[in-house]
Amino acid sequence: MENNPPEHIVAKFDKNLDKIKSVILDMGALVGTQIKDATALWFAFDEAEAARIRALDLQVNGMNSEVYARAEVLIVRRQPVALDLRETLAPINIASELERIGDHAKTLAKRAFLYTDERPAKEFFDLIAQMSNDVQQMLIDVLLAYSNSDIDAAARVREKDTAIDDAHKKMLRMVIAALSEGRNSEDLTTELVHMVLNSRNLERVGDHIVNIARFVNQIVEGHDLKATD
C-alpha cells in the first residue's frame, strides 16, 4: 500500500510552489524593466532616474531571498522527490540568475553617470539599443517558458543568444576601428570604451537568460544541459 501524503498537504505544497513561481515572474518583470530603463539613460540621462534604477536592486535582492526562503521551507516540510524537488530547487537558481541580471542593469545605470558631451556615432547607440531590445525579449520568452514548462520555447531562447554574442563582437570591431583612427578626444575615447562595457553587460545578460532556459529544461526533463549545449 502506497504511503502518499494527505491531499490537503499536497494542495498546500502546490500552492506554495505557485507562490514561488509568482515571485520569480514578478522578479523577472522587474529586472526587465531595469534593463529597459537603464539603457534609456544612455540616450537621455537623468540623474534622479539613474538613482531610482539603482535603488531597484535592493528590491530584486529581496525577492531573491524570498524565493530561497520559501524553497527552503518546502524542502524541510515536504521532503519532495523527483519532479517536485526539481520544481522546488530550480527557482533558487533562476532567482540567482535574475539577481545577476539586475546587477548588470544597475551597472548600466551607474555607468551612465559618466555621460559626457562628446558622443560616439549613432551606430554605436543603435547597436546597444538593439542588444537591449533583444535581451529584453529573450527574458520575456524565457519567463513564459518557465511559467508554461515549455522546453521547446526554452530551446528557442538559447538559440537567440547567438545573435547577442555576434552583436557584442560587432561592437568590439566597431570600437577598435574607431580607436585606431587616432583622432579621438579623451572624452570620446572614454565613451567608446563604455560602449564596449555596456555591450559586454548586455552579452552577459543574455548568458544568464540562457542559464534560466537550461533550468527550465532541467525542471521538465531532469537533466542539466550545460554539459551538452
Q: How far is the CA of 150 from the CAs of 95, 154, 160, 174, in angstroms?
A: 18, 6, 16, 37
- The answer as to whether 36 is a domain residue is yes
Number of DSSP helices (H) and strands (E) in the chain, helices first: 6, 0
Q: How far apart are CA 215 and CA 158, in angstroms?
A: 11
pLDDT tens, residue by residue, 111-124: 887 766 678 889 99
Give the number of domains in the chain.
1
How many CB atoms sit inside 10 A of residue 181's CB?
7
pLDDT tens, residue by residue, 191-211: 899 999 999 999 999 999 999
- Angle, CA 142 vertex, CA 213 and CA 202 arms, to 5°: 85
CATH value at residue 176? 1.20.58.220
What does the CA dihedral 118, 134, 196, 121 come to, rounded to 10 degrees?
-30
Q: Is residue 160 a contact partner of residue 102, using CB atoms and an 8 Å limit?
A: no
* pTM of the entire predicted model: 0.89
- The answer as to whether 2 is a domain residue is no
Please state, for a pLDDT cut of 70, what percent of the chain lies above it.
88
Q: How far apart are CA 60 and CA 152, in angstroms?
A: 28
Grid cell at residue 174: 566597431
**Which range among 1-5, 54-58, 124-128 has the greatest average pLDDT?**
124-128
Name the band, by pLDDT with cuts 50, 70 and 90, for residue 1: very low
Burial of 66 (0-12, 13-18, 19+ CB in 10 A): middle
- The answer as to whether 136 is a domain residue is yes
Range of the domain at 70: 7-227
More confident residue, 17 or 136: 136
pLDDT tens, residue by residue, 38-70: 999 988 878 888 888 888 889 999 999 999 998
- The answer as to whether 191 is a domain residue is yes
- The answer as to whether 1 is a domain residue is no
One-letter amino acid for residue 129 of the chain: A
